[in-house]
A and B are shown apart, each in its own frame.
Chain A
Amino acid sequence: MAKVPVQFTLNGSEKAEFVESGTTLLNALRDKIGDTSPKGGCHQGTCGACSVIIDGELRLSCLTLAETCNGAAITTTSGLAEGGVLHPLQRAFLDTFATQCGFCTPGMIMAAKVLLDHTPNPSRDEVVEALSGNICRCTGYEPIIQAVLTAARANSQNAA
């Protein structure tokens, strides 16, 4: 099958690849570009493990064709830490023991980041709503909800 060129920014750096037409963004990121932080849980839009941020919006990379991302700005969990300093969400996930096997964690963090970008001081209900497209098998969700609330508090303290 003919390959198509795709070009986008991933976590701030330019990426260009040739992919087979129909390749999902998830597979392009993981297999072509080597960013394995988005996880493939179901490959059909039901688990949220593959969540990434495209032009500021939360998207499922398993349901997004790579070739539709030309010119887009894509953020994944691997791009959150700055110079070895963890992002407040990553820090909070560690501190509240919100990750066990870790498979859902990158997707959870992406969903939480989009929430906090728009709603810096969310209520518990807003956090629950924002995470409701993501499945976790291990934690029972409560530690994850606490992590997001903790990160929000840390952000607002830094801003103050």
Chain B
Amino acid sequence: MAIRRGRGVAAINYPTGMNLGGDPTQALVHSTPTGNFMVTLSSVDLGQGMKQIMAQICAETIGVPTDRVVVDTADTDTGPHCMGTFASRGTHRAGNAVIQAAREARQVMLEVAAEELEVNASDLETDGQGNILVKGAPQKSISIFDVALSAHFKRGRSISGRGMFLIPRSYPEKETGAMKPSTCYAHACTVAEVEVDDETGEVTVLTVKNVFEIGRALNPKMVEQQLVGGSWMGISHALYETTEPYYPNRDHGGTDFNQYLMPGPGDLAETEIIVLERPSADGPYGAKGPGEMCANPQIPAVANAVFDAVGVRIDTLPITPERILRALKAQAAN
């Protein structure tokens, strides 16, 4: 009877979005009379940072500072249509819709500025600080504040835009079954080191080293935050969490936080995160969906590490001490 060490590796690719009846998200952008911009969405920010990212995307596209953008995700009854925040689709789908809406709004903004400056709209550019300048003659400029006032009070125009991003439904080919159920894929690879006590069946994760390829990280600190939390959650799925420990039998399922186990602050593995940025062709500014994929590769990596440590393959989650001991017993009997 001993504590045995093992190391496991796993790699995944993970889709962005889904393929039921098509996958749409829409967005509306409009300016206030003082040249702030409002993004209206039904997509929900549940803590992953959607509002911040959509503000960045809108600001980048229109050419204003991020703090000039307000994102309203309030109401799925009244907002533009979104399929929802799931399938790691928020940044990709809503982001593309926001770019489209912001482009249209930017065009109107430049047209109004062109009338004020008596130049051609195609000769104008934004400085990212809230001003519109004539290309090559930056002394000729107008603030976006003044452009918005002019649009509202003088020229009767709405600086606004509509964004409609739709991934149409993909049907499988009859002969081969081939289809395109999702768009861009994110990738990850994890190496996990574990200790397995072959007397008690307990697994301790010592280290997890993760590499994530997530397209462009639109907000690197928030991406890191998501990946650190996701790596922890992957270990939690691998070793602890279940509502149905004897599935399909419902008996002994956790009913509250006392019984639904998750690793606490005292059970953390040493965690390393490396981000690779390979901008995706169809993502907003190259982004992919890092949301859920970051909690996946730890699971097979831990299972492989357990196999490396004690020679048993556990193919049911979570990898509990009971499952390991039963497998060890079966192994000894053979």
Contact = CB atoms under 8 A, between A and B. Distances in A.
Interface in A91-139: 97, 100-102, 127-129, 131-132, 135, 137-139
Contact of A142 (B221, B258, B268): B268
Contacts of B315: none
Interface string B261-283: 01011101001000000000000
Interface stretch (B127-135, B170-178, B224-232): B224-232
Contact of B47 (A42, A101, A143): A101
Nearest to B219: A97
Contacts of B47: 100-102, 138
A132 to B, nearest CB: 5
A39 to B, nearest CB: 13
A140 B224 contact: no
B205 to A, nearest CB: 12
Nearest to B47: A101
A138 B229 CA distance: 6
Nearest to A99: B47
Please tell me the size bucket of the interface on B.
20 to 34
B257 A135 contact: yes
A141 B221 contact: no
Q: Is the interface of A mostly helix, strand, loop or mixed?
A: loop
Contacts of A135: 257, 262, 264
B266 A142 contact: no
B265 A100 contact: no
Nearest to B259: A46
Nearest to A129: B266
Contacts of A127: 265
B155 to A, nearest CB: 39
Contacts of A143: 225, 228-229
Given A100-B48, A140-B271, A131 B265 contact: yes
B256 A42 contact: yes
A138 B222 CA distance: 12
A47 B231 CA distance: 21
Please tell me the size bucket of the interface on A.
20 to 34
Contacts of B229: 100, 138-140, 143
Nearest to B270: A142
B46 interface: yes
A144 B46 contact: no
Contacts of A137: 262
A5 B172 CA distance: 68
Nearest to A131: B265
Contacts of B266: 128-129, 132
Contacts of A42: 256-257
A50 B262 CA distance: 19
A102 B49 CA distance: 11
B239 interface: no
Interface of B: 46-49, 221-222, 224-226, 228-233, 256-258, 262, 264-266, 268, 271
Interface of A: 41-42, 44, 46-47, 97, 100-102, 127-129, 131-132, 135, 137-145
5 contacts: A41-B257, A132-B265, A138-B47, A140-B231, A140-B268
